[in-house]
Amino acid sequence: MKIISASGPEKRPLNLVIVGAGPIGVELAGALRKSKKLLPKDYPGIDFSRLSIYLLEGSPYPLNNMSEKAKAAATRYLLEKGVQLLTEK
């Protein structure tokens, strides 16, 4: 697979946007961030070092309907994994 863009082959950043930081969105963002090391084996022509994962949430916190402890743990987990978390705050 060869990707060609206006800025040349393989030069554009790779952005993945997940909408909704409920249980599924948080899990998906974390799993994709972990698989960043595995994806190059399946797609050797793509530079995954440029991959950024954005998790968008309309409420103030991920897992907003859960306990304060769960909200804090999810926020910490996502930030430690390098996920860009964008919330109402």
For the chain, give every domain's residue range: 14-86
Residue 27: alpha-carbon gap to chain centroid:
10
- pLDDT of 89 > 80? The answer is no
Q: What is the pLDDT of residue 35?
A: 84
Q: CA 70, CA 67: separation in Å to the nearest integer?
A: 5
Tokens for 37, please give them.
């090391």
Consecutive H or E run containing 53: strand 51-56
| Interval 11-22: pLDDT, tens | 677 899 999 999
- pLDDT of 83 > 60? The answer is yes
Q: What separation, in Å, do the N-terminal and C-terminal C-alpha atoms of the chain show?
A: 39
Q: Are 39 and 48 in contact (CB under 8 A)?
A: yes
| Interval 28-81: pLDDT, tens | 999 988 888 888 888 888 888 888 999 999 999 999 999 999 999 999 999 998
CATH architecture of 14-86: 3-Layer(bba) Sandwich (3.50)
